[in-house]
Amino acid sequence: MSSEYPAACGGDPLFGTQIQDYWIFNRKKMQIKLRLLSQNKELVDFLRLEDKKEFRETRYLQSQFPILGYFNIHKNTAYCWSPHSDQCTVISDIVFVSSLRAIFETLWSISDSKY
Q: pLDDT tens digits, residue range 46-84?
A: 999 999 999 999 999 998 888 888 888 988 999 888 878
pLDDT of residue 68: 84
pLDDT of residue 3: 40
CB atoms within 10 A of CB 100: 17
Write out the DSSP string of 6-71. Answer: -EEE-SS--TTSHHHHHHHHHHHHTT--EEEEES-HHHHHHHHTTTTTTTEEEEE---SS---SEE
